Amino acid sequence: MAGGEGPCVVVDPYSSGALFAEALRDQGVPVAAVLSSPRPPDAYASSYRPGDFPDALVHEGDLEELVRRVRALDPRCVIAGCESGVELAERLAPRVVPAVSNVPELAEARRDKSRMADAVRAAGLPVIPQLCTSDADEAADWLEREGLAGADLVIKPPKSASTDGVIKVPGGTGWRAVFERQIGRVNQFGEVDDRLVVQKFVTGTEYVVDTFSHDGKHSLVDVCAYGKVDNGPHMAVYDTMRWLPPDDPAVPELAEYVFGVLDAVGVRFGSAHVEVMGTARGPVLIELGARPHGGGQPRFNRNATGDSQIDRTVRWLTGAELPYSYDLLTHQMCVFHIAPRSGTVRGTAVLDEIRALPSHHFSVQNLSDGDHVPVTRDLVDSLNFGFVILAHPDEEQIRSDYRTVRALEQRLVIDEP
């Protein structure tokens, strides 16, 4: 049951969080916004629709005052719209709508990747070996103790999102230089990375599992498998994301593990976005976001499954029945554009041919002739370049069109500076 009779409050309604306003209002549910800072982080600025939230409350640093103002709205729930809103949403919800909040004592485990792994390990679930520290010497001692000297490593911030600041270190060569270069870096949310996670690099199939929870009960909204490639020295650049049918052999084990992770970090209400590596020994957590899948994914998930995390939130708020799992209505794949090198791009009109592909559902290309394109290093770069959603009843048609997308990319001319 919702908290009050007022609006659903969305903290930082950016990225996929921007989709809540229309979906809620269409069903007669009022919506309000809280902004964690006066301006959206640059990574989310283009997705913000201020016209949807003319009376947005801005957190100016006084949490008690903000709690008072949000309570006055008598909200039904307080949820995070995107990653930058998670921490504030987790601080507000227990104070304002405790009946529909997550476990307050585990709030850090829903944002900080180190605390997250600690909580999951404490629950008896397998996690990737890792250390979070600000001290390179401490990391060196840990690598020696764990027998990871000379092993492939990953160094990443304990906070942030979209592979921002995530660096693979093959064979551990030069890990200390990477660590010292990254410590103190300002990430895409404007936060200083004053600690870093040093982690064993694990291999397998990477999955993303999107969920919705209420009263501590969890349900699957979708399960996708990522395909990643190395783009020169840049680790595991996103290649594809493929929606899996619920009867895929991997789904039951993933669901059991992910629901255990949600319990371990204290998720009791709302959307979660959980990335998992399927290894030879079973699934292990990469990271969890206590918010909807970003990048506007719920719109595309609706095409593939007829449902989304946004829709489940609305259904819960309106008292409608909620399913435990999902159906796959059509095969679907997201193809992320990849720039093999940096430079000035020409010949971008060739990408117009993508819209004529038999399985084309949606696409966006953000390049014009004469633009500078950076080499694709992470998901942020891919989304800035553009992506393609392919959907079709025939899975082979999607595979064929994927190959065509990559062939068209090869026809782009990138003049190096």
pLDDT of residue 407 exceeding 80, the answer is yes
| Together in a domain, 222 and 334 | yes
In a domain, 1, yes or no: no
Strand bridging mode 57-58 / 31-35? parallel
What pTM was estimated for this model as a whole?
A: 0.91
* AA identity, residue 366: N
Q: What percent of the chain is modeled with pLDDT above 70?
A: 97
Q: pLDDT digit string (tens) for 263-311?
A: 999 999 999 999 999 999 999 999 999 999 998 899 999 999 999 999 9
Tokens encoding 123? 């629950």
Query: Does residue 256 share a domain with residue 241?
Result: yes
Confidence of residue 158 (pLDDT cuts 50, 70, 90): confident
Instruction: Tell me the residue range of the domain where 151 lies.
Output: 129-200
Does residue 232 register a pLDDT over 70? no
Closest CA to 17 of 409, 308, 315: 308
Q: Are residues 136 and 235 in the same domain?
A: no
What DSSP letter does each residue of 8-68 carry, written as one string?
EEEES--GGGGGHHHHHHHTT--EEEEESSSS--TTTGGG--GGG-TT-EE--S-HHHHHH
**Are 226 and 361 in the same domain?**
yes
Residue 365 to residue 345: CA distance in whole angstroms = 13
- Total count of domains within the chain: 3
**Looking at the predicted structure, is the pLDDT value of residue 380 above 90?**
no
CATH number assigned to the domain comprising residue 217? 3.30.470.20
Output 169 or 302, whichever has higher pLDDT. Answer: 302
Those residues whose C-beta lies under 8 Å from the C-beta of residue 295, and which sit 6 or more positions away, are 15, 16, 383
DSSP 162: T
Q: Which two tokens stand for residue 32?
A: 């309000």
Q: Report the range of poorest mean pLDDT among 116-125, 128-137, 178-187, 391-400.
A: 178-187
Of 14-18, 46-50, 118-122, 381-385, the range with the lowest mean pLDDT is 381-385
What integer pLDDT is reported at residue 193 of this predicted model? 81
Position 322 in a domain:
yes
CB atoms within 10 A of CB 390: 27
Q: Say yes or no: 170 and 272 in one domain.
A: no
Read off the CATH number of the domain in which 93 is found. Answer: 3.40.50.20
DSSP β-bridge partners for residue 227 = 240
